[in-house]
Chains A and B, each alone.
Chain A
Amino acid sequence: MSDAGAPTWRLPPRWVLLVAVLSIVAAEVGGGAMARFKVELTRWARDGMLARPGVHGLVGVRDVDERILDEALVKFDAGLRLFHMHAEGMGLVIIATSMVAATVIQRAAARRAIIALLTVGGAGYPVGYLAWSALIPAYGLERSKAIAEWLVWVPFGTATIVALWGLVGCVAWTMLARRRA
């Protein structure tokens, strides 16, 4: 920083940066694969759904079934898109917020805990969208969403939110302590 006496940014541990970059790489690969293999992915999902008509409520009437299949395929595609978007975004969020935590939080235990939660939560959360998409053909829309929600989105999302508000508290505390000193 240019201000005299102001601290410079501290880097978080190397593994945190690696996880963040891997998340961005996975997002890029996911985005590329979505575009390149759109037809193959759609065919795979459609075949999976047709193989389990009971799960998806298919009745054997073309007009009805096509509507159900279309809706499920839109959700399947949305899950892949949301994975792409969230993995890119959360990779950047991990880098930015873990730098703030590494720079601002003085207590080692608190710093380690918040950085770990930010990294694990941030990298894990987008995987839920991938899991949701992958599970739709086998489990149907609602069940796959519930599985992704309780196994991935709730735990990893909660970790991120708790860590971010903890970081907000630490930054505010540091500002107050500096003003008092």
Chain B
Amino acid sequence: MLALGETAGAAMSRLKPEIERYAAGRVAANPGAHGFSGSAEYDDEVRERAVFTAEAGLSFFHLHGEGVGLVLFFASSLVAAVVPGRRARAALYALLTFGGLFPIGYVVYGAAVLELGRDAGVELAERWILAPLGLAAIAGLVGLAFALARPRV
């Protein structure tokens, strides 16, 4: 996830014009999804907002890829060190690893905005990717917190 986050950051910086061009092309290819009206002024504004949202998705992916990668690393190390019981550890590893995929949701967010329109794309990514993966990460971290709070014998 760290490697993907870093690479996305570099791509965002080096390939900005190409990404913008691609995003604008995808928006133009899906006029119905974006509610184009045929009025150039209105359509330009809609296109700009969609491209900006798609770029924001990539930017969030870069940021969260780096951050969640680190959270996953340190949290799973703590699980290995303090959680007794193989099954409990396996469950927490699974939740944290699943939650560690959370940043991928932002790539879907960016792509879905271009293909389905801004509101529908954001809704899809939030409901089906970001929420479940985020909940998994939260559940894993809460489980780890319980393990840490348990009195040691």
The residues of A with any CB-CB pair to B shorter than 8 Å are 1-3, 6, 9, 89, 92-93, 96-97, 100, 149, 153, 157-158, 160-161, 164-165, 167-168
B10 near A157 with CB under 8 A, answer yes
CB within 8 Å for A165 and B77 given contacts A89-B67, A93-B70, A96-B70: no
Query: What CA separation (Å) do A160 and B2 show in the bound complex?
Result: 10
Q: Which of B2, B7, B84 contacts A93 (CB 8 A)?
A: B2
Inter-subunit contact B77/A160 (CB<8 Å)? no
Asked whether A161 lies within 8 Å of B10 as measured between CB atoms, the reply is yes
Q: Please, which residues of chain B bring their CB within 8 A of the CB of A158?
A: 10
Check: B81 CB closer than 8 A to any chain A CB: yes
Would you call A164 and B3 a contact (CB within 8 A)? yes
What total of chain B residues lie within 8 Å of the partner, measured CB to CB? Answer: 21
Is A2 a contact of B3 with CB atoms below 8 Å? no
Q: Are A9 and B77 in contact (CB under 8 A)?
A: yes
Main secondary structure of the interface of B (DSSP, over half): helix
Contact B6 A2 (CB under 8 A): no
5 other A-B residue contacts (CB within 8 Å) besides A1-B81, A96-B73, A164-B3: A2-B81, A89-B67, A157-B10, A161-B6, A164-B6
B58 CB to nearest chain A CB (Å): 16
| Structural contact, B10 and A2, CB atoms closer than 8 A | no
28 interchain pairs (CB within 8 A)?
A1-B80, A2-B82, A2-B83, A2-B84, A2-B89, A3-B80, A3-B86, A3-B89, A6-B80, A89-B70, A93-B70, A96-B69, A96-B70, A96-B74, A97-B2, A100-B73, A149-B13, A157-B9, A157-B10, A158-B10, A160-B6, A161-B3, A161-B6, A161-B7, A164-B2, A164-B6, A165-B3, A167-B3
- Chain A residues positioned under 8 Å from B123 (CB to CB): none
**Beta-carbon contacts of B48-78 to A below 8 Å, as 1s and 0s?**
0000000000000000001101100110010
**In the bound complex, how far is the Cα of B1 from the Cα of A165, in angstroms?**
10
Cα–Cα distance between A89 and B69 once the two chains are bound (Å): 11
Contact B6 A153 (CB under 8 A): no
Q: What separation, in Å, do the CA atoms of A158 and B149 have in the docked complex?
A: 42
Q: Closest residue to A168 on the B side, CB-wise?
A: B3
A9 contacts across to B, CB distance below 8 A: 77
Residues of chain A within 8 A (CB-CB) of B84 are 2
Whole-angstrom distance between the Cβ of A174 and the nearest chain B Cβ: 16
CB distance from B78 to the nearest CB of A (A): 11
| Of B13, B70, B74, B81, the contact of A153 (CB 8 Å cutoff) | B13
